[in-house]
Chains A and B, each alone.
Chain A
Amino acid sequence: MRPCDLRGTSVLLSVSVLFVQRAKRVCDDFRALDLRPSKSNNMRGNRRKTAYKKTPVHPPRSNKMPVDQDWPSVWPVARVFHPASVPLPLHQGWVEPGITPPGKFANAELMKIPNFLHLTPPAIQRQCEALKKFCTEWPKELDTDEKIDHHFPLQITTSDYLHSSPTIRDARARIVTLQVKLSTLNLNSHAKDKLLRLVKERYDPVTDILTLVAERCPLRKQNIDYAMYLLNVLVSESWKTEPWENEKSEADMEKYVWEGSQSQRTLQQLLERMPNKAPDLPEVIKQYSVNVTRFHNEGEDTENVNAYKESVIKLLGLNA
């Protein structure tokens, strides 16, 4: 409370407030004259080395801090707790219930714990303001995740490790993870099949993401280069068609394909020998091919077996 706030209301009150303030200041400055030094200061460690004249120790400056002071300039950086600089009535320590815990002076526990007195909201705001001039604006065109994925399909993930040690090196910082969506590589079915055979478990079919982890080189830069090289080689290799790839027969297929299959040829021969063909033959054949493919690829279950049965009955024109 300041005297100037009360000036309009009552002169007497303001005078009394002034007097109280002055008395308080006198109390702060006044130190008792110690005519007979107490005998309590006689422990081991205090007994010796009293030859020099002790200079008077000032009272803690937290007593004189104004309430509207600029705290970030009092405590600008991280520091061990100091009771004379913090104008807060702090207590720390475990005591029996009903007793006041030890106060902030001569309290080693308060010095041990990390404090965030330098990270008050105004201090953080000031630091952000100071850093703002080094930041660039986010491109307005990249406003959605789809656009970002479209223009920047490659994702490289690295990790930095901070330790409380004199060295900043960490062997794990070299590991580089390269992720790319397979659909962005624009591969045809042959190339995609070959790429999947090459990368094996590094491809996740659920998310359609190919993940390459490079950690064999000692430096991160080398690992990034190696991961990019790997991706280049994989894509160019999968676009190649080797002469022996034409020898792939139906037994080597990883999935059942209707086109060029034994079933298709048999059906063709059967249709040639059939006397009266169904009028909607192309649709019936298409239905049959779909059902046969599903039957082979998805396995035998009741639904697939029934669908296969229906299509066979339709194809042969049976009335069951």
Chain B
Amino acid sequence: MLRLMAPSIASNVIVPQLRQFHASAVCCKLQSGRYKITPKRDRPLTYEMANPPYYIAHRKSWNSWDTTSLLDGQRAAETSVEDVFIHRFMTGTWHDLFCSEVIIKRQHNLIRIAGLIRQGLPARKMYFLIGYSEELLANWLQCPVKLELQTVENKETTIFKYI
């Protein structure tokens, strides 16, 4: 704990409210994107979960691809907000079906949304949801949107390891 003592001079006595200043130590704990090991070592992790955020660009790549972070890139804030919105819309529309993160790749004005989908819906409904998502997102974001999904049989196929 870091404790800053006010100098004990005469002013300390005169002004009683100027006494001590407590400050706790900086909490350097990083928790996001890291998973605890279970006693039985039976927590399933995907490849994405198995690699903490500091392995981005080393062992895994980004979930959003665009040019905003390049030198003089434009619309960084708008793009981030749109990406969050797309992520929420996709996970909500394809409820309980996404087995991976929502991958958003931007190519000029085209937005490609990719990801792994569980085969938990009839193909007919999946086709509907693809058209529905594309149409609504294209209307909101004012640019063509493409859904390029890959289906997997169940969520277990994406398990990379157990911890």
Task: Give the B-binding residues of A (Cβ under 8 A).
Answer: 40-41, 43, 45-46, 48-49, 52, 54-55, 57, 78-80, 82-83, 93-94, 102, 105-109, 111-114, 162-168, 170, 172
Contacts and interface: CB of A to CB of B under 8 A. Distances in A.
B155 A46 contact: yes
Interface in B72-125: 72-75, 79, 96, 99-101, 103, 105-109, 112, 114-116, 118-123
A170 B46 CA distance: 40
Contacts of A107: 47
A45 B63 CA distance: 23
Chain B contact-residue range equals 35 or more
A106 B75 contact: no
Q: Which of B48, B63, B74 has the most CB of A within 10 A?
A: B74
Contacts of A109: 47, 60-61
B143 interface: yes
Contacts of A163: 67-68, 73-75, 108
**4 tightest CB-CB pairs across the interface, nearest first?**
A164-B106, A80-B148, A94-B59, A108-B100
Contacts of B48: 108
B150 A82 contact: yes
A167 B46 CA distance: 36
26 contacts: A45-B118, A45-B120, A46-B118, A48-B96, A49-B96, A52-B122, A54-B119, A57-B153, A80-B114, A83-B150, A93-B47, A94-B58, A94-B59, A102-B160, A106-B99, A106-B158, A109-B61, A111-B103, A111-B115, A114-B65, A163-B73, A163-B108, A164-B65, A165-B106, A168-B109, A170-B74
Interface in B120-163: 120-123, 141-143, 148, 150-158, 160
A164 B66 contact: yes
Given A45-B118, A57-B119, A166-B141, A78 B107 contact: yes
B68 to A, nearest CB: 8
A105 B157 contact: yes
A166 B106 CA distance: 10
Interface of B: 44, 46-48, 51, 55, 58-63, 65-68, 72-75, 79, 96, 99-101, 103, 105-109, 112, 114-116, 118-123, 141-143, 148, 150-158, 160
Q: Which of A40, A106, A111, A114 has the most CB of B within 10 A?
A: A106
Contact of A41 (B115, B116, B154): B154
Given A106-B157, A165-B106, A172 B72 contact: yes
Contacts of B44: 43
A56 to B, nearest CB: 11
Contacts of B112: 80
B47 A79 contact: no
Given A80-B148, A164-B107, A112 B62 contact: yes
A82 B103 CA distance: 14
A165 B65 contact: no
Contact of A166 (B62, B143, B150, B153): B143
B147 to A, nearest CB: 9
A201 to B, nearest CB: 25
Contact of A111 (B72, B150, B153, B156): B150
Q: Which of A93, A105, A112, A168 has the most CB of B within 10 A?
A: A112
A82 B149 CA distance: 8
